[in-house]
Structure 1
Amino acid sequence: MERRDVRGHYEELAAEYDEHWIYGPDHVPWMSGRIAAALRLDPTDRIADIGSGTGLFAKEVAKHLRPRHPVLCVDPSEAMLRQLGTPPPADLTPIVASAEDIAEGSTRLPYEQLDAMWLKESVHHVADPARTLRGLADRLAPGGRLLVVMLPASIQYPLFEAALARFEELQPDPALIEGHLRAAGLEAGLSYVEHELRIDRDKYFGMVRARYMSLLSTFSESEIEKGIDEMRVAHSEPVLAFPDRFAFVLGRRCGESA
């Protein structure tokens, strides 16, 4: 996507991030379960959530997996990671770093190699996805898995037209990410998961106003308000129902896991 002050966007949003991002009580458990199943997580795995934000999904995964090694919550925003708690839970370890920092080895991790890692809706913030994914792949142990969870090239969210058009202009193609994983030496595949979201209309408008998607940070206050007016006309129903579809790009390093 376009280069903008992504870190600043999340620093400002950190304290209210969970409130604006959780669509409903079922969303985080559903997505976390999908991530754990796709990666075939085991309690003995050394795991990292790259671009973890406040750790929404890492917390849920750890709660059910009961990992023997703390899940690494990696994010460049210290403010987002502070939402893990002070101190953070024993099964989570916050690490202030970007995906590039991990890929390039400029930030040292507690584990020499990783058995599983995921990037949930963060790959579009990476300036050079091919190079960064190759570096992350190099951190995998034999049999290690890397999962990129991302929105598809187009979405059916009830956003205003300018936001939907900008999303399609900027969103990377999941097939391209699959190609990057193959080029990094991983066995790779692409699949999709989907479920229906149902959100109170006024709550969703508030999420848009709070710029819950980083895409929305590219619009001015007046553009956001104009967009919400457009959405209000297009959607008179009190509850918005729409499909939430994600691409799951999974790569696996050849060899038996340690």
Structure 2
Amino acid sequence: MERRDVRGHYEGLAAEYDEHWVYGPDYIPWMAGRIAEALRLSPADRIADIGSGTGLFAREVASQLQPSHSILCVDPSEAMLRQLGTPPAPGLTPIVASAEDIAEGHAGLPYEQLDAMWLKESVHHVADQARTLRGLANRLAPGGRLLVVMLPTTIQYPLFQAALDRFEELQPDPADIQAHLSAAGLDASLTHVEHELRIDRDKYFGMVRARYMSLLSTFSDSEIEKGIEEMQAAHPEPVLVFPDRFAFVLGQRRVEGT
């Protein structure tokens, strides 16, 4: 994966991040529900959202689940974590750390082991995915689950062609992530979920201009504007309708003796 100033990108986007990610009123509850279902979360679980950003999904999971242990929102961007509120929203605890910090034991956590953790569209920011996922797997309790939610290697977003091409060039293959989890000693599986997005054309173009995807931070202002012109010509319809398809890569630590 090309290394970019990812932290700087999210620091600059933090204040308006939620606005750009809430496609519609049902998107966050839908995704949070799928995460909770895939991880088979229970209120007693010790849970971490690795790469949580502003806690969009952790907040919704906490609301749905009412956990007895606070969900850890782990992110290297203090600006993003500040969006959790002061004090943070109920059921959430911010942890300023990267996935690598957690994997290597460089960040103190209030729980010795975790029963469940997820990485939602953040694994592509990890330089050494095999090493980091192995380290995260080692933080799981027996029977613990680790879920990587990621886009597939191709997407059907109404982006300009250069962005779509660059996405395919940079995006990790979910099958490789599954192999990394297996190599880390987890029972790993790969499934897909899909949600239809309907979003106002001008709003989506504004999201692209604001570089709502970190991928878009690799383009200059002039390249973004040229890309939006291409998108305007290709999509005259007032409402853009397109599928948002995700790979769910799930790993579970075996319980000794089973």
Instruction: After TM superposition, give the deviation of residue 108 of structure 1 in Å.
Output: 1.2
* Distance in 2 between residues matched to 1:103 and 1:19, nearest whole Å: 30
Aligned to 2:255: 255
Aligned to 2:49: 49
* TM superposition score normalised by structure 1: 0.99
* Distance in 1 between residues matched to 2:195 and 2:111, nearest whole Å: 35
Instruction: After TM superposition, give the deviation of residue 89 of structure 1 in Å.
Output: 2.0
* TM superposition score normalised by structure 2: 0.99
Aligned to 1:214: 214
Range that drifts further, 34-43 or 82-91 = 82-91
| Secondary structure, counterpart of 2:83 in structure 1 | helix
Aligned to 1:17: 17
* Distance in 1 between residues matched to 2:22 and 2:151, nearest whole Å: 16
* Distance in 2 between residues matched to 1:222 and 1:234, nearest whole Å: 19
Listed as ranges, the matches of 1:150-189 within 5 Å are 150-189=150-189
- 5+ residue gaps in structure 2? none
| Secondary structure, counterpart of 1:64 in structure 2 | helix
Q: Alpha-carbon deviations, 1:145-201, whole Å to 9, x = none?
A: 000000000000000000000000000000000000000000000000001100000
Aligned to 1:8: 8
CA root-mean-square deviation: 0.6
Instruction: After TM superposition, give the deviation of residue 16 of structure 1 in Å.
Output: 0.3
* Distance in 2 between residues matched to 1:49 and 1:251, nearest whole Å: 15
- Would you identify which runs of 4 or more consecutive aligned residues in structure 1 move more than 6 Å? none
| Secondary structure, counterpart of 1:73 in structure 2 | strand
Range that drifts further, 205-214 or 89-98 = 89-98
* Distance in 1 between residues matched to 2:90 and 2:107, nearest whole Å: 21
* Distance in 2 between residues matched to 1:76 and 1:215, nearest whole Å: 18
Q: Alpha-carbon deviations, 1:18-58, whole Å to 9, x = none?
A: 00111111100000000000000000000000000000000
The count of aligned residue pairs is 256
Percent identity between the two aligned chains: 83
Aligned to 1:87: 87
Aligned to 2:237: 237
Instruction: After TM superposition, give the deviation of residue 90 of structure 1 in Å.
Output: 3.1
